[in-house]
C-alpha cells in the first residue's frame, strides 16, 4: 500500500472502550491536512482527550485505524511518535528538575545528543521567554511559564505535528495572545497543529478547520468559515456618540436601546450593517464604535451539541 498522502492525520472507525465499560469513542472518522491549524472541540467527557491520547500513544485504542503522515500507528508506532510533539493539559514534567533539563531530557528521549538538545533547548527557551529561568527548578515557575516550558519541551525535536490540549487554560490574556502569536508562527513554518480548547474564541482566532465531538462521535467536521456561515443570527452592540431618545425603524430582525448610548441590533444572514448605519445617520445618530455581542462559535457549538442530543433522543424514542 502506498503511503503517498498530504494528510497529517487519518482516523477511521476509531473506538475506545475503557475498562469498566465506558465507551469514550464510538467510531470516529476524522482527517486533518498537513500544515493545518485544527481545532478539536467538545464538552467535558466528549472524547477529545481520548482521541489525542490515542494519537500520542498514551491510550490504547479498542478498534479502528489511525494513520499519521500516511504511516499506520500500529505498524510504525515509534516513527509516528517521532513526528509528534505533545503539550498536555496538566503539568507532566518533573518539577524537581532544572528548567533546561526538562527540555534537554526530552530531546534525548527523541534521540538527540545532549549537545544538540541543549542548543535547541536554549533556542526555544529564549523564544518563549524562559531563558533567564533555565537553571532554576521547574517547580518555581509560574503557571503560565510552566505552560510555555511544556511547549518548549514538545518542540525540542522539531516535530511535524504539535498537539496542544487546552494550552492556555488558566493563562492570563496577555500571555495567551503571546502564545497565539508563537503558535501561529510555528504553523506558518509548516508544523501541523491540533488544538483542543475551551476558549472558543481561541479556536476561532487560530484554526482553519474544526471538528466538534460529542459523546464519542464527531458531530461537525468542516472549515471554520463554513461553520461560522451556518450561524443564522448575530447580535451587534453599537455605541452612540450622543444620548439616543428613541430608536428608528431599522432593516433588522430586532433592535433595542440598552441604555441611552447603547443600541443592540440582531441581524440574520444577508442583512447588512450598512443599512443600519444609513438609517441611524438619517436620524442624526452617530455610532462611535461597535462590537459583536455573541461569541459566535460558542453559540454554534452549543446548538450543534444540543441538536446531536435531540437527534439521539428522537432515535431512542422511535425505537421504544
Partner 1 sequence: MSIRSETEAFDHQGPGERAVGLTARGAWNAFVMLLTREILRFGRIWVQTVLPPMIMTALYFVVFGHLIGPRIGVIDGVPYIQYLVPGLILMSVITQSYANSVSSFFGAKFARHVEELLVSPMPNWLIIIGYVAGGVARGLTVGGAVTLVALLFAELSVYSVLNLFGVALMTSTLFALLGLINGVYATHFDHISIVPTFVLMPLTYLGGVFYSINMLSEFWQQASLYNPVLYIINGFRYAMLGITDVPVWSTYGILAVGILAAYLYALRLFRKGIGLRG
Report d(CA 165, CA 90) in Å as an integer: 9
User: Does 37 sit near partner 1 (CB under 8 A)?
Assistant: no
User: Does 65 sit near partner 1 (CB under 8 A)?
Assistant: no
User: Does 185 sit near partner 1 (CB under 8 A)?
Assistant: yes
Determine how many CB atoms are found less than 10 A away from the CB of residue 140.
12
The only residue of 5, 31, 222, 295 in contact with partner 1, by rule CB under 8 A: 5
Report d(CA 148, CA 141) in Å as an integer: 10
CB of 235 to partner 1, least distance (A): 39
User: Does 21 sit near partner 1 (CB under 8 A)?
Assistant: no
User: Does 223 sit near partner 1 (CB under 8 A)?
Assistant: no
Report d(CA 203, CA 60) in Å as an integer: 27
User: Does 239 sit near partner 1 (CB under 8 A)?
Assistant: no
CB of 167 to partner 1, least distance (A): 16
CB of 291 to partner 1, least distance (A): 33
User: Does 173 sit near partner 1 (CB under 8 A)?
Assistant: no
User: Does 3 sit near partner 1 (CB under 8 A)?
Assistant: yes
Closer CB to partner 1, 78 or 173, in the complex: 78
The only residue of 10, 15, 33, 76 in contact with partner 1, by rule CB under 8 A: 76
User: Does 44 sit near partner 1 (CB under 8 A)?
Assistant: no
Q: How far is CA 273 from the centre of its chain?
A: 30
User: Does 292 sit near partner 1 (CB under 8 A)?
Assistant: no
The only residue of 23, 33, 59, 257 in contact with partner 1, by rule CB under 8 A: 59
Report d(CA 186, CA 158) in Å as an integer: 10
The only residue of 78, 173, 243, 246 in contact with partner 1, by rule CB under 8 A: 78
Binding mask 92-131 for partner 1 (x = CB under 8 A): xxxxxx---x--xxxxxxxxxxx-xx-xx--x---x----
The only residue of 30, 86, 175, 263 in contact with partner 1, by rule CB under 8 A: 86
User: Does 181 sit near partner 1 (CB under 8 A)?
Assistant: no
User: Does 155 sit near partner 1 (CB under 8 A)?
Assistant: yes
Count of residues engaged in binding partner 1, rule: CB under 8 A: 62
Name the residues that contact partner 1, by CB under 8 A: 2-5, 18, 50, 53, 56-60, 69-71, 75-84, 86, 88, 90-97, 101, 104-114, 116-117, 119-120, 123, 127, 153, 155, 157-158, 160, 185-186, 189-190
Amino acid at each position: 500500500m502506498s503511503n503517498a498522502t498530504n494528510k497529517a492525520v487519518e482516523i477511521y472507525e476509531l473506538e475506545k472502550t475503557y475498562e469498566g465499560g465506558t465507551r469514550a469513542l464510538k467510531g470516529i472518522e476524522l482527517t486533518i491536512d498537513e500544515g493545518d491549524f485544527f481545532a478539536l472541540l467538545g464538552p467535558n467527557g466528549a472524547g477529545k482527550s481520548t482521541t489525542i491520547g490515542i494519537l500520542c500513544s498514551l491510550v490504547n485504542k479498542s478498534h479502528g485505524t489511525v494513520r499519521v503522515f500516511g504511516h499506520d500507528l500500529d505498524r510504525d508506532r515509534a516513527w509516528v511518535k517521532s513526528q509528534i510533539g505533545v503539550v498536555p493539559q496538566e503539568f507532566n514534567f518533573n518539577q524537581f528538575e532544572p528548567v533546561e533539563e526538562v527540555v534537554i531530557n526530552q530531546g534525548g528521549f527523541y534521540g538527540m545528543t545532549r549537545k544538540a538538545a541543549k542548543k535547541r533547548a536554549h533556542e526555544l527557551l529564549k523564544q518563549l521567554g524562559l531563558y533567564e529561568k533555565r537553571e532554576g527548578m521547574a517547580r518555581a515557575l509560574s503557571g503560565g511559564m510552566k505552560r510555555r516550558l511544556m511547549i518548549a519541551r514538545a518542540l525540542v525535536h522539531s516535530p511535524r505535528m504539535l498537539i496542544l490540549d487546552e494550552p492556555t487554560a488558566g493563562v492570563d490574556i496577555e500571555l495567551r495572545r503571546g502564545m497565539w502569536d508563537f503558535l501561529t508562527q510555528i504553523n506558518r513554518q509548516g508544523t501541523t497543529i491540533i488544538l483542543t480548547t475551551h476558549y472558543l474564541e481561541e479556536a476561532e482566532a487560530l484554526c482553519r478547520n474544526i471538528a466538534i465531538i460529542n459523546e464519542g462521535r464527531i458531530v461537525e467536521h468542516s472549515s471554520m468559515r463554513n461553520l461560522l456561515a451556518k450561524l443564522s443570527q448575530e447580535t451587534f452592540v453599537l455605541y452612540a456618540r450622543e444620548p439616543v431618545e428613541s430608536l428608528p425603524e431599522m432593516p433588522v430582525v430586532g433592535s433595542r436601546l440598552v441604555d441611552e448610548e447603547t443600541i443592540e441590533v440582531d441581524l440574520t444572514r444577508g442583512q447588512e450593517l450598512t443599512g443600519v448605519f444609513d438609517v441611524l445617520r438619517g436620524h442624526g445618530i452617530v455610532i462611535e464604535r461597535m462590537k459583536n455581542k455573541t461569541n459566535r462559535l460558542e453559540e454554534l457549538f452549543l446548538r450543534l451539541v444540543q441538536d446531536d442530543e435531540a437527534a439521539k433522543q428522537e432515535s431512542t424514542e422511535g425505537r421504544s
